[in-house]
Every structure is written in C-alpha cells, then in structure tokens.
Amino acid sequence: MFKSRSSMQDIKTSCKTSGLDIYRKVPKDLTQPTYSGAVVSILCCVFMLFLFLSELTGFIATEIVNELYVDDPDKSSGGKIDVSLNISLPNLNCDLVGLDIQDEMGRHEVGHIDNSMKIPLNHGFGCRFEGEFTINKVPGNFHVSTHSATAQPQSPDMTHIIHKLAFGEKLQVQHVQGAFNALGGADRLGSNPLASHDYILKIVPTVYEDLSGKQRFSYQYTVANKEYVAYSHTGRIIPAIWYRYDLSPITVKYTERRQPLYRFITTICAIIGGTFTVAGIIDSCIFTASEAWKKIQIGKMS
C-alpha cells in the first residue's frame, strides 16, 4: 500500500513537470508526409549547409582592420628610421656616384659609404647603387649626386631607374595594399641627362599587429616629383637626385582579428532556426494551397 501511494505521487510529479515542456511532441500517426514537404526539406538542408560553410570560412579567415591615430608608434627606435635604397644610373661611372644626407638636426654627411655597395653596369660606364642607412625623424633630404667625387665631370648623366626605396621594417602581408615602395620601378631613362630630379616624400608611420599581439613597424609614403636644370654659383650644371622627406603625424595601424567563437555559434543558431521557420511557413502555405485545390476539384466532380 505504501509503494502504491509513492508511485502515484511520482506520476503526479511527472505530469506537473511535463506540463512545463514548451516543445510538445506530435504523435507520428497524426503527421502526414508530402512530396512538397520532402522537396522543401531537401532545399532547406542544402541552404543551411551553404550558409554554415560560408560562416565557417569567415570564422577561420583572418580579418585585417585598419585605424588612424596621432602618435609615434616606434618609440624604441631612438628617433631613427631605417632606409633601403636601390638605384641604377646606367650612364654614370661608380667613381662619381655618392650619397649625401642632411636634415634639420644639423646632420650633413657627404659621401655616405656605410652599408652601401656600388655595382658597375654597362662595362663600367654605369653604376648600380645599393645602400642601407638611417635618417632622423625630422624633415631633411638625402640625394644621389657627384658631390663627393674628387673631380666633377663636365656633363654628368643622372638618368636613372629606382628599383627600391623603402623605410622601416619590410612588411609582406597578403591583404595589406600599401605604398611601402611607391617609387619602385620609377624609370627616368628618357629624361634630360643634365636635369636634377626632386622626389618630395610624405612618410606615414605604419604598424602591423598580428593575432599574437606582435607588432612590426614600417613606413608608407606618398611621392610627388619634378624635374629641372640646376646651375651652381659658377654657372655649371650639377644635377642630382633628391629625396626630400617629411613625416606625417598620423599613424596607420593594421590589426589582425578573428571572429569570436560566441558570435560564430550565435550566427549558426540563427541560421538553423531562421531557415527551419521560413521553410515551415513555405511548406505550410504549399500544403494549404494543395488541400484547397483538391477540395475545389472534388467540388467540380460532384
């Protein structure tokens, strides 16, 4: 008798608990499978699979976000910027080619030779200059000229090709399209041999931060140029290739980001729930329309 009372109480408790179920079950004998429902179900599954794969691709992929702010990002550089220059002068002997550097902090260096190399071209009639040096983070210029030569040539030919001019650390990132080597490939072989060339550069500090938080510092730059014939105080033409630079106060920062897991899960739930809901509405409309059509046909036959 005690056991029967206990079992009755368990049944009552179970009934009360099941009353809270918001996902009521429909017996199978009360459902009716249809051909249109099967088609809608298949299309629904294909559509959900397509959306799931699209979201999964976006979740795995890395997004690069850029922002602008005013600051000096690389304070550990000691106020210096690394420069890499590679230029060919096919009609000027290597003995005459030199690099001069000067800026507003009073630096004035003629014939810079550290970390530089001169490669003869055209059987010694031309020269390819490759050099790496540093400049201060103040306005200034560096120029390729014959100023450091012991004897100045009568008619120096400054026609040239710039293979590379880059500042800071080299960045090779697939989805970042920046002007890190804006003058790369500049061809001035068809210009006036005695003309000087002015390249006015606006250097923009650039920071790239990967997913691990590691930062790399580089510099992009914009360029404008002009060509003119310059005379010295003695009336001689002394051409040069000038790179006049100034730094922008604006820093560009690229940051790698990945979609958070909770957002991915939320999106997948929304895809599944939304697709099932819309598919159910479509299937219900098709079924209701087909049933109405059957009744109309039966009415005509009777």
The confidence score (pLDDT) of residue 21 equals 60
Alpha carbon distance 46, 54 (integer Å) = 12
d(CA 159, CA 152): 17
CA-based end-to-end distance of the chain:
63
Q: To which H or E segment does residue 288 belong?
A: helix 261-301
Question: Which of 4-18, 143-157, 227-241, 280-294 ranks highest by mean pLDDT?
Answer: 143-157
Both tokens assigned to 252: 């560009």
Taking the model in full, what pTM does it have?
0.70
Q: 295 vs 34, 137, 287, CA distance in Å? A: 17, 86, 12
69-72 LR contacts (CB < 8 Å, sep 24+): 69/250, 69/251, 69/253, 70/249, 70/250, 70/251, 71/251, 72/137, 72/205, 72/251
Model confidence pLDDT, tens digit, residues 95-143: 999 999 999 999 999 988 889 999 999 998 999 999 999 999 999 999 9
Residues 33-87 pLDDT 10s: 777 778 888 888 888 889 888 888 888 888 888 888 888 777 777 789 999 999 9
Lowest pLDDT segment from 106-120, 206-220, 266-280, 282-296? 282-296
Q: How far apart are CA 93 and CA 286, in angstroms?
A: 85
Q: Which of 115-119, 139-143, 204-208, 210-214 has the lowest mean pLDDT?
A: 210-214
Whole-number Å distance between alpha carbons of 52 and 274: 13
Phi and psi for 71 in degrees, rounded to 5?
180, 165
pLDDT tens-digit map of 222-279:
999 999 988 877 777 889 999 999 999 999 999 888 888 888 888 888 988 888 888 8
Beta strand 140-145 pairing with 240-247: antiparallel
